[in-house]
A and B are shown apart, each in its own frame.
Chain A
């Protein structure tokens, strides 16, 4: 099964796991599987139109899926899908 690596800021929504095994023949299917298992992840990964949020990148092994076939990129056993959100550390945002 392909494995999805969950970045630290999102682990609290994925049962605190660093990686989740999912089934699916494509990146899109694997991510759907992920948010079905962990519905709290959905709003962090997808906007209201069901599109992947712009500050979240998805990689298949070491390639950004934007430069492959995006959601349609095929995955096989042993593949690693990484979700890479932007992080900036440090300050509390000015509120």
Chain B
């Protein structure tokens, strides 16, 4: 069982002994285990959905040094799941909000704040100061960056990821175990896997997965139990079923294999094809601003408003458009009149851009994308409209 930290000459004060008594009276932890936890240095990347429960439980457990990396600001829509933040924190840096709550819960934790974008320029240096890295990030480029940096610095990567109501958890980048690239050598092309903003997420899900990550981190520190090394835990929250798949170290893995080709950090945005996709988006959009749409509708122009959102979104708010969800568009395109001028919209302009591209490729010449979607309409044309 890998034990990562030597027992540094730390001690527990009487206050700490009382605080952690429920750990100390268990032979599986005891004084020895609690001292290991106090000596441990754990880095949490992200103080959002996964990071919230992760950091809170690691703090509660008495991890001696807790690093947090996050440059984002608390948004109102985060509060549905990012339980370390409160309504009063909206608009504040997540880092400050998170650090304050952990400090208030457990003043014995030494919190190191990294108000920065984790990148190829700083990851190796930041990781060097910690024993365990917990990945709570929300995008593919950072996942690969964290993995490669963990392999290069020899730190285990406690991985968790979520989508809607499904999650994954594992431990990557231990010496004999697989790394993230052993499982996924390449990222999906951008746009093929939706994000939480586009696909939604069950609020409790990152809670479930984040605490699993915290549990695994503590197990690594203590050297107890069976850690998720070489095991991918699949969580289906709706069915409340947990399945497990075997992960093997790929001997040909470019990061952790016998002959690694990745010897330094690369440009992960490029690796994930994001730059390429941005260029494509610029070429195709023919955009209309919400103010222009309002003007033209008021004037009585004959415009066909195509709403490509889902029925449950239409129930929240709409501008009277004809609802054809994006997924149904190929099958229902014959409902549209090529002679009409079409303005496509969705919530924020992402899906409708895809609809416009599709329609143009199908021969529709007069199609526009409503820039900013119904959110922009609610912002600038009709403030009484709810935003979601």
Contact = CB atoms under 8 A, between A and B. Distances in A.
Contact of A64 (B168, B192, B245): B245
A62 B197 contact: no
Given A8-B164, A12-B327, A59-B245, A89 B186 contact: no
A19 to B, nearest CB: 10
A interface: dominant SS: loop
B278 A94 contact: yes
A63 B248 CA distance: 9
B69 to A, nearest CB: 14
A18 to B, nearest CB: 8
Interface stretch (B88-96, B103-111, B198-206, B315-323): B198-206
A62 B206 contact: no
B194 interface: yes
A57 B184 contact: yes
A90 B82 CA distance: 11
B139 A9 contact: no
A63 B246 contact: yes
A54 B139 CA distance: 17
Contacts of A57: 183-184
A80 to B, nearest CB: 9
A55 B269 CA distance: 16
Given A90-B48, A90-B139, A8 B245 contact: no
A32 to B, nearest CB: 21
Interface string B169-199: 0000000000000011111101111111111
Interface in A1-53: 7-9, 12, 18, 44, 53
Contacts of A59: 245
B329 interface: no
A86 B232 contact: no
B277 A89 contact: no
A17 B274 CA distance: 30
Given A7-B166, A54-B184, A94-B278, A88 B245 contact: no
Contacts of A63: 245-246
A54 B252 CA distance: 14
Nearest to B248: A67
Interface string A78-95: 000010111111111111
Given A63-B246, A93-B190, A88 B143 contact: yes
A84 B168 CA distance: 10
Pick from A54, A55, A89 the residue with the most CB of B within 10 Å: A89
Given A9-B199, A64-B247, A89-B161, A84 B232 contact: yes
Given A18-B236, A55-B186, A89-B206, 7 more contacts: A64-B245, A84-B234, A87-B168, A88-B161, A93-B139, A94-B269, A95-B277
Interface of B: 48-50, 137-140, 143, 161-166, 168, 183-188, 190-199, 201, 206, 232, 234, 236, 239, 243-248, 269, 272, 274, 277-278, 281, 327, 350
